[in-house]
Amino acid sequence: MVFETTIKYLRKRSKNPIKVENSRDVYNFLKPLYKENMNYQEEMRAVFFDTANQVICVTTLGIGCVNSCVSNNQKLYQTAILSNCKGVVIAHNHPSGNLKPSEADIKLTKEIQEALKLFRIVLMDHLILTENDYESLADKGYL
Protein backbone atom coordinates (compact mmCIF):
# COMPACT_ATOMS: atom_id res chain seq x y z
CA MET A 1 0.00 0.00 0.00
CA VAL A 2 1.34 3.45 -0.94
CA PHE A 3 0.41 6.66 0.84
CA GLU A 4 0.90 10.02 -0.78
CA THR A 5 0.83 13.41 0.86
CA THR A 6 0.53 16.70 -0.94
CA ILE A 7 1.21 19.98 0.78
CA LYS A 8 0.28 23.27 -0.81
CA TYR A 9 1.80 26.47 0.45
CA LEU A 10 -0.92 29.09 0.27
CA ARG A 11 -0.02 32.36 1.96
CA LYS A 12 -1.49 35.64 0.86
CA ARG A 13 0.64 38.72 1.22
CA SER A 14 -0.91 41.14 3.66
CA LYS A 15 -1.38 44.75 2.63
CA ASN A 16 -0.21 45.75 6.10
CA PRO A 17 2.36 43.15 7.16
CA ILE A 18 3.47 43.04 10.77
CA LYS A 19 7.22 43.50 10.88
CA VAL A 20 9.40 43.29 13.97
CA GLU A 21 12.76 44.92 14.54
CA ASN A 22 13.55 43.84 18.11
CA SER A 23 12.35 41.93 21.17
CA ARG A 24 10.18 44.88 22.33
CA ASP A 25 8.26 44.72 19.04
CA VAL A 26 7.59 41.00 19.57
CA TYR A 27 6.45 41.63 23.16
CA ASN A 28 4.06 44.37 22.00
CA PHE A 29 2.71 42.07 19.28
CA LEU A 30 2.20 39.08 21.62
CA LYS A 31 0.95 40.76 24.80
CA PRO A 32 -2.66 41.25 23.60
CA LEU A 33 -2.88 37.55 22.70
CA TYR A 34 -2.49 36.56 26.35
CA LYS A 35 -5.43 38.72 27.53
CA GLU A 36 -6.74 37.73 30.96
CA ASN A 37 -4.56 34.60 31.16
CA MET A 38 -1.34 36.61 31.58
CA ASN A 39 -1.64 36.39 35.38
CA TYR A 40 -3.61 33.16 35.56
CA GLN A 41 -1.89 30.33 33.67
CA GLU A 42 1.20 29.77 31.56
CA GLU A 43 0.78 29.70 27.80
CA MET A 44 3.48 28.91 25.26
CA ARG A 45 3.29 30.43 21.78
CA ALA A 46 5.46 30.59 18.68
CA VAL A 47 5.65 33.34 16.07
CA PHE A 48 6.95 32.47 12.59
CA PHE A 49 8.74 35.00 10.37
CA ASP A 50 9.75 35.31 6.74
CA THR A 51 13.12 36.63 5.56
CA ALA A 52 11.93 40.24 5.98
CA ASN A 53 11.00 39.64 9.65
CA GLN A 54 7.31 39.85 8.81
CA VAL A 55 4.92 37.67 10.78
CA ILE A 56 3.69 34.66 8.82
CA CYS A 57 1.62 33.11 11.61
CA VAL A 58 1.30 32.51 15.35
CA THR A 59 0.41 29.25 17.06
CA THR A 60 -0.23 28.15 20.62
CA LEU A 61 2.12 25.36 21.68
CA GLY A 62 0.66 24.69 25.09
CA ILE A 63 -1.56 25.91 27.91
CA GLY A 64 -0.60 24.92 31.43
CA CYS A 65 -1.24 25.93 35.00
CA VAL A 66 -0.04 28.73 37.21
CA ASN A 67 3.63 27.68 37.21
CA SER A 68 4.24 25.29 34.32
CA CYS A 69 3.36 24.50 30.74
CA VAL A 70 4.31 21.65 28.42
CA SER A 71 5.37 22.80 24.96
CA ASN A 72 4.24 20.80 21.94
CA ASN A 73 7.53 20.98 20.07
CA GLN A 74 6.34 18.70 17.26
CA LYS A 75 3.66 21.27 16.44
CA LEU A 76 6.35 23.98 16.45
CA TYR A 77 8.60 22.11 14.00
CA GLN A 78 5.69 21.12 11.77
CA THR A 79 4.39 24.69 11.57
CA ALA A 80 7.88 26.04 10.95
CA ILE A 81 8.42 23.71 8.00
CA LEU A 82 4.94 24.04 6.50
CA SER A 83 4.93 27.84 6.80
CA ASN A 84 8.29 28.01 5.00
CA CYS A 85 9.54 30.38 7.67
CA LYS A 86 13.11 31.53 8.16
CA GLY A 87 12.87 32.49 11.82
CA VAL A 88 10.90 31.65 14.96
CA VAL A 89 10.34 33.37 18.29
CA ILE A 90 8.95 31.32 21.14
CA ALA A 91 7.33 32.98 24.13
CA HIS A 92 5.57 32.11 27.34
CA ASN A 93 4.25 34.06 30.27
CA HIS A 94 5.11 33.85 33.96
CA PRO A 95 1.93 34.51 35.97
CA SER A 96 4.10 35.05 39.07
CA GLY A 97 5.52 38.22 37.51
CA ASN A 98 9.07 36.84 37.86
CA LEU A 99 11.02 37.50 34.65
CA LYS A 100 13.99 35.27 35.49
CA PRO A 101 14.22 32.25 33.15
CA SER A 102 14.19 28.88 34.89
CA GLU A 103 16.67 26.12 34.11
CA ALA A 104 13.83 24.37 32.24
CA ASP A 105 13.26 27.52 30.15
CA ILE A 106 16.94 27.65 29.18
CA LYS A 107 17.09 23.92 28.42
CA LEU A 108 13.97 24.09 26.23
CA THR A 109 15.42 27.07 24.36
CA LYS A 110 18.63 25.20 23.55
CA GLU A 111 16.73 22.06 22.44
CA ILE A 112 14.48 24.02 20.09
CA GLN A 113 17.40 26.03 18.75
CA GLU A 114 19.35 22.88 17.88
CA ALA A 115 16.35 21.16 16.26
CA LEU A 116 15.49 24.19 14.10
CA LYS A 117 19.10 24.39 12.89
CA LEU A 118 18.58 21.06 11.12
CA PHE A 119 16.12 22.86 8.82
CA ARG A 120 18.17 26.06 8.54
CA ILE A 121 15.58 27.93 10.57
CA VAL A 122 16.79 30.39 13.18
CA LEU A 123 15.41 30.54 16.69
CA MET A 124 15.45 34.32 16.94
CA ASP A 125 14.42 34.63 20.59
CA HIS A 126 12.60 33.18 23.57
CA LEU A 127 10.59 35.76 25.48
CA ILE A 128 9.23 35.51 29.00
CA LEU A 129 6.25 37.81 29.35
CA THR A 130 4.53 39.42 32.30
CA GLU A 131 1.77 41.99 32.39
CA ASN A 132 4.21 44.89 32.69
CA ASP A 133 7.46 43.74 31.09
CA TYR A 134 9.37 40.95 29.39
CA GLU A 135 12.75 39.22 29.34
CA SER A 136 14.51 38.26 26.12
CA LEU A 137 16.79 35.25 26.32
CA ALA A 138 18.53 36.43 23.14
CA ASP A 139 19.19 39.86 24.66
CA LYS A 140 20.60 38.12 27.76
CA GLY A 141 23.01 36.02 25.67
CA TYR A 142 21.37 32.59 25.91
CA LEU A 143 21.03 32.37 22.11
For the chain, domains (ranges, CATH) are 37-136 (3.40.140.10)
Contacts of 124 (CB under 8 A, 6+ apart): 49, 87, 88, 89, 138, 143
Q: Report percent pLDDT > 90 for the chain.
A: 59
Contacts of 10 (CB under 8 A, 6+ apart): none
CA–CA distance from 6 to each of 3, 9, 74, 82 (Å)?
10, 10, 19, 11
66 vs 52: which has the higher pLDDT: 52
HSE of 106, CA atoms in CB hemisphere, 13 A = 8
- Integer Cα distance of 25 and 52 in angstroms: 14
Q: Average the pLDDT over 64-70 and give the result.
A: 67
Q: Is the pLDDT of residue 109 over 80?
A: yes
CB atoms within 10 A of CB 3: 4
Entry pTM = 0.85
Q: Average the pLDDT over 53-67 and give the result.
A: 83
Q: What's the confidence (pLDDT) of residue 73?
A: 86
Q: Is the pLDDT of residue 40 over 80?
A: no
